[in-house]
Amino acid sequence: MEPNDRHTQLRTDPLLLAAVAELSSTTGGRYFLASLLAGYGVRQSTFDSDPHLHAFRSGVHNAGLVLEDLLITASPDNYILMLKERTDEN
């Protein structure tokens, strides 16, 4: 299975999208998801002069982008709320 096929499969899984929407409907769930996205370095560069570390960071970053896409697809309003909550924390 190609990576894009798997991503499409995840984006169209109604049970997965419902689970992400439910998780993002609570303050604690949004905090958890935002922490995961930050840990995956979604808003950071993956560049490193060491090609192995760069490849690793790129893979982790891609996993974060898939999670972010699932969150946006499942519940765009809760995604925006999560961003506002994280901004208010800082």
Tell whether 58 is covered by a domain. yes
41: left (phi over 0), alpha (psi -120 to 50) or beta: left
Cβ neighbours of 76 (radius 10 Å): 11
Assess whether pLDDT exceeds 90 at residue 8: no
Tell whether 35 is covered by a domain. yes
Tell whether 6 is covered by a domain. no
List the domain range (segments joined by +) for residue 39: 15-89
Tell whether 65 is covered by a domain. yes
Tell whether 7 is covered by a domain. no
Q: What pTM does this model have?
A: 0.88
pLDDT digits (tens, 9 = 90+) for 42-79: 999 999 999 999 999 999 999 999 999 999 999 999 99
Assess whether pLDDT exceeds 70 at residue 3: no
Cβ neighbours of 20 (radius 10 Å): 23
pLDDT at 6: 83
Total count of domains within the chain: 1
Tell whether 39 is covered by a domain. yes
Tell whether 59 is covered by a domain. yes
